[in-house]
A and B are shown apart, each in its own frame.
Chain A
Amino acid sequence: NAGVTQTPKFQVLKTGQSMTLQCAQDMNHEYMSWYRQDPGMGLRLIHYSVGAGITDQGEVPNGYNVSRSTTEDFPLRLLSAAPSQTSVYFCASIQPGGGYEQFFGPGTRLTVL
């Protein structure tokens, strides 16, 4: 049971490039989310999904797209990277019922030059 996995661990992009951050979970959780973590800003919700085929925007969705074709995978796509998107990105899935604990991935550290 791998839990929540994220790839890559590190990435450097140039302004204007696009890329996809991968997230997968093997716990059959319906709810998944993406956060960005910035110094002094805490964790801010980018997008979330309550099940396959259903996604919605969080607090800071601009510049990001998501899709949820399967329960397991929830990729985050940067359309045209900007330096303001330099951050650490965390994917999480939630266990509904029994306390709603969120399980986090190890994070992806992204630098946009």
Chain B
Amino acid sequence: AQRVTQPEKLLSVFKGAPVELKCNYSYSGSPELFWYVQYSRQRLQLLLRHISRESIKGFTADLNKGETSFHLKKPFAQEEDSAMYYCALKGGGSNYKLTFGKGTLLTVNP
């Protein structure tokens, strides 16, 4: 079984402060991990995926297989980062199903 845990429902930071959204997963094989974001009144969209090892909008996330984590980080939060963030896991192979965490609502205060 695959499971994704986002321990924080709400996270509030001030503009310019570092932010870290936590994600832990449970999966017996080699997972693929994603972060999706939903801005107010917009549809969900992919933010980044671990296989790309990219930085999007200043966000990065590193897959730590030892700690089974995929935390999302940004050194200096901006007000426009306020959104709901979902961590998602895809099992290996041709199984396209994604398992989502319950989400973390990030608020960046001015």
Contact = CB atoms under 8 A, between A and B. Distances in A.
Interface of A: 31, 33, 35, 40-45, 48, 50, 58, 90, 92, 94, 96, 99-102, 104-107
A40 B43 contact: no
A94 B96 contact: yes
Contacts of A94: 96
B43 A104 contact: yes
A92 B90 CA distance: 15
B101 A107 contact: no
Given A101-B46, A102-B46, A104-B45, A42 B103 contact: yes
A33 B95 CA distance: 13
B65 to A, nearest CB: 19
Interface residues of B, number: 23
A8 B19 CA distance: 36
Contacts, number: 52
Contact of A90 (B43, B46, B103): B43
Contacts of B6: 42
Contact of B97 (A41, A58, A107): A58
A43 B100 contact: yes
7 contacts: A33-B97, A33-B98, A43-B86, A90-B43, A100-B96, A101-B46, A106-B43
Contacts of B52: 99
Contacts of A35: 100
